[in-house]
Amino acid sequence: MKYKLSIITVNMNNSIGLEKTCLSVITQTFNNFEWIVIDGLSKDNSVEVIKKYSNKINYWVSESDSGIYEAMNKGVKKATGEFLLFLNSGDFLLHPWTLQEVIDEITTSKNTDVYYSDAIFDNYELLKFPDKINIDFFKNANISHQNSLIKRELFMHQLYNENYRFISDWYFFITELINHNITFFHIKTLISVYDTCGISHIKRECSLEEKQKAMIELKISGKFNINVVILIRLHKIIKYILPYGLYKLFYSLIKKILNR
């Protein structure tokens, strides 16, 4: 079976990152995809970048929204592919042949709701995920939506919850797992390089607070607690006090506690 993909790119005032994303998409050797770009009424030259590549874009719009998840939901509503890939501005596909390799791999794999790969940060540090994804995994971590192909029909159950500003992708995965027992498959092909300037990465302590609230709402118990939020806030202070070597040691400890 030859799958059709929908690539959804969300952008807000990140024309430099958007250009990088666009170049990685238009150079793909695999072309059975549609590309949807949702811009949040950017004040920089993002729209000029979009227009530059508009002949490769199937649908784009630049209008105000309430945040990244409303923008992602707009993209979902326009998508027609069997699988969706959220490749937001600043993220970029690893190689020109990446999508072809992904399609080749999932075509020979068992039918699955979400195919996910390990993630690469923009400092080219690799984040590995386990082969088995379950509720216990999501208590302490999340897979990367920039490195996940999500079956579009899952969004018939729900869209991204716009009440959350930072963790709605995590909330989507865990609630789909709880309510619909969706399946995950770990693919070997690395999909994209993840822009660590993204909102959920920068506002990590806010993400953790939201996740704590959601876990209480979902009646999920786990080691995830508000003490982790305190640790991250402490990190913000320590980075300006400690010598660089001690700070790096402290930062590595924080990452181990958070499982990233």
Q: What is the CB neighbour count within 10 angstroms for residue 242?
A: 14
What gap in Å lies between CA 180 and CA 205, rounded to an integer?
29
pLDDT in tens, the chain (260 residues): 557 899 999 999 999 999 999 999 999 999 999 999 999 999 999 999 999 999 999 999 999 999 999 999 999 999 999 999 999 999 999 999 999 999 999 999 889 999 999 999 877 789 999 999 999 999 888 999 999 999 999 999 999 999 998 999 999 999 999 999 999 999 999 999 987 765 545 466 677 778 888 888 888 865 444 455 555 556 556 666 767 667 667 666 665 555 44
Dihedral over Cα of 202, 195, 186, 10: its sign: positive
pLDDT at 224: 46
Integer Cα distance of 28 and 243 in angstroms: 44
Structure confidence at residue 177 (pLDDT): 95
pTM of the model: 0.83
Pairing of strands 92-93, 83-86: unpaired
DSSP structure class, residue 95: S
Structural class in CATH, domain 5-197: alpha beta
